[in-house]
Chains A and B, each alone.
Chain A
Amino acid sequence: MDMGYSFGIIPSGFEWLAFILSAISLIGLVINGVLGGVIVLIWGERRLFGRFQNRTGPNRWGPYGILTPVADAIKTMFKEDILPKDADRLLYNLAPIMVVVPVLIVFSVIPFGLGSFVVDLNVGILFVLAITSISSLSVLTAGWSSGNRIAILSALRSVALLISYEIPMGLAVIGVIMLSGSLSLGSIVESQQIPYILVQPLGFFVFFLAAMAEMARAPFDLTEAESELAAGHLNDYSSMKFALFFLGEFMAELATAAIVTTLFLGGWKGPDFIPSEFWFGVKLVFVLFLIVWFRMTLPRLRVDQVLQFAWKGLFELTMINIITTAIFMYIWPEPGVKELLILAAINWPVAIISIWGVSKILGTKQYENLESLKNENAYPYSFKTLPSEFYHEKVEEGKIK
């Protein structure tokens, strides 16, 4: 008797049940794994914030405060769910779902280890780029449907960010696709004889920054800029809807780190004596640390500067990267490790020089000379010519009056 996949548990004629059950269990595993990862990420990010800011960070619930996100989740659930008077009911309720679902779908194509993935799509990277754009749409929906002017400003910013940063993000991946010759994330990992960050420094730089902008993290957090828009599109959300936005934001961070790891850091590859999932996790944590570090240190850019940075800075850098990689691929169509090392030796100087050049062009000019700024028609007390130093000296009685 042919037992098939069912090992005799499922009667013959019902083999499709085995497929559905395994799919459900896989989906459950990945979703719960991601949610657990988010809880650890929230805790880790807060602990890191604490360290960066000379504080302890959360330390009350559980060992080292690891249960704080759980406590937060329970607290948020018991908050009152508010629907603003001017809100568009359908879109207002739809937006939080639109944040979470696309990010969860992204995890289905990411190879977490050797052979551990839900599905290996042959257009994986295109799928990822397409799906992540939906998250920005949810910000637009949330901002528009809240019926709140600040939220609408945030929604408009989110659209501007999406339109600008999709392009450098997509173009930055092209170098990787050319080298690996495949769009599938699984084969991209397998083709990385050395991690592509060594071969594609510009690609990594642009992709990382563009991904930060896509998910609106500091220094590009224009959509929920606390000091300007208060919380932007999140202004009117409360209770579980807010929690879903919060969850979506952190899952996006996790997804971005996973994609960067897969594309540029060699994915699950590492020495064989430890399981491949471990190497994936280590690289993931490293990328997450980078993201948190950026967020903790840098002030926010203004909206015109953010868009300028995408179009005048990152776009050119991706073009340089594509051209160098294309010339290389023309000479060595099937590169081995030696050829890849040659490309790395070429690409790093190219990357450093072009980043330096772009920073020179886009950077703010220093005050050339204070002399040139002097105001000719100034008030009598202003100085017409700038002496090197002004001192208030010890004076005799009644000299200055």
Chain B
Amino acid sequence: MSLETRPVTVNLGPQHPSTHGVFRMRVTFDGEEIIDVEPIFGYLHRGSEKLAEERTYSQIVTLTDRMDYVSSMLNNQAYILAVEKLCNIVPSPRGVWLRMIASELQRIASHFVATGFLLQDLGALGTPLIYCMRERENILDLFEMLCGARITNSYLRPGGVFMDAPDVFWPALSRSLGDIEKSIDEIEDYLSGNEIIFSRTKGTAVLSSESLVNASITGPMLRASGVDWDLRHRNPYDYYSEITFKRILHTASDNYARYWVRVQEMRESLKIISQCIKNIEPGPVRPSFDDVPRLVRPEPGDSYAAIEGSKGELGFYLVSDGGISPYRMHVRAPSLINLTLLREMLVGELFGDLFVIFGSVDLNMGEVDR
């Protein structure tokens, strides 16, 4: 009788509890060690980009909500910036401040979800995840006040937002800022005081900054490797040139650094929001319908606008042929592009870290497959 050892190929997903949606990986294991990964995606493809060719420019806002459904406001913002660039719309100041507040709140919510799912992937049986989700609920309540919707907001319109914030919003916002700060402290205590989290996340999935830049990876993943690339700073859109915030950088470029960057960025977002509250002045939240009609017909041409999304550079490329809907829309989805180095990150690590590393990309399947 002869004994032999051979690698085992296991199919993980699309029906797996921690693939963050419907992602599939064919992973080859040598014992517990990963020796090969083949990512397979497209299970959540809904053809948003194609659908956009049949919608008017205002209607497309609802499609962008459903791309990255944990950061709808940021998707709205990126899309609206592209439309404004295409149609040469001058936005109303109050609308811009409001959408900056909304998008920074959304960034905090998205980072909370990312951190919660890190702990869930590490096997903490739901308790930390539920704590993170509770804070996200606060933010969703604020969105409900702003626009009536919690997840698929469709709050932004070309030139601003569709509705001014109600009077109850401002006290609730300032109260929430304090609450969120406290819960960030809580999460940070949990992250930075737990030996199991240290030992599981430090030194895993280390990537060099060259390889990250070559794969055009952006967002917290890139900043965790020490590359100072934040579009709010490099290419200020909206009124980001008028406010001050700290650019969070780390050099370790491992899983822990990625989450450290995210948690610190939540604090900076809080600072940005309080500066926005200081700067906001009464006025119209969007230009009048004489200036920006409901049905915009841009001149033939194209435009690209990108923002610093919660996951990385989120860009919208629009081509107009002069009609009421774009000739072509393309989304630069950070979740998809940040997955490029998945194989490099996973090969050589152990099975236990597979989903932690996968989750450290902070991807959203709605955005990967669109």
Contacts and interface: CB of A to CB of B under 8 A. Distances in A.
A219 B123 contact: yes
Given A301-B200, A305-B199, A381-B227, A227 B251 contact: no
Interface stretch (A35-43, A61-69, A387-395): A387-395
A364 B351 contact: no
Contacts of B69: none
Nearest to A370: B251
A119 B66 CA distance: 65
Contacts of A227: 17-18, 120-123, 355
A392 B8 contact: no
A116 B8 CA distance: 51
Contact of B252 (A52, A373, A383): A373
Given A54-B131, A297-B127, A363-B195, A382 B225 contact: yes
A331 interface: no
Interface in B123-158: 123-127, 130-131, 134
B124 A379 contact: no
B258 to A, nearest CB: 14
A298 B196 contact: yes
Interface in B319-335: none
A236 B227 CA distance: 46
B29 A400 contact: no
Majority secondary structure of chain B interface residues (helix, strand, loop or mixed): mixed
Interface in A284-322: 295-305
A85 interface: no
Interface stretch (B80-88, B171-179, B239-247, B309-317): B239-247
Interface string B191-211: 000111111101000001110
Contacts of A394: 241-244
A7 interface: no
Contacts of A72: none
Contacts of B14: none
B99 interface: no
Nearest to A309: B199
Contacts of B251: 370, 373-375, 386
Interface size class for chain B? 35 or more
A296 B127 contact: yes
A390 B236 contact: no
Contacts of B60: none
Contacts, number: 163
B123 A300 contact: yes
A152 B351 CA distance: 13
Nearest to B9: A149
Contacts of B9: 149
B244 A382 contact: no
Contacts of B127: 52-53, 296-297
A146 to B, nearest CB: 13
B363 interface: no
A375 B352 CA distance: 28
B234 interface: yes
A374 B81 CA distance: 36
Interface in A351-369: 359, 363-365, 367
By Cβ-Cβ distance, the 7 closest A-B pairs, closest first, are A300-B123, A299-B122, A302-B352, A390-B247, A392-B233, A364-B198, A227-B18
Interface of B: 8-10, 16-18, 29, 31-32, 119-127, 130-131, 134, 194-200, 202, 208-210, 213, 225-230, 232-236, 240-252, 350-355
12 contacts: A226-B18, A227-B120, A227-B355, A230-B16, A230-B17, A296-B125, A300-B124, A302-B199, A367-B202, A391-B244, A392-B230, A401-B235
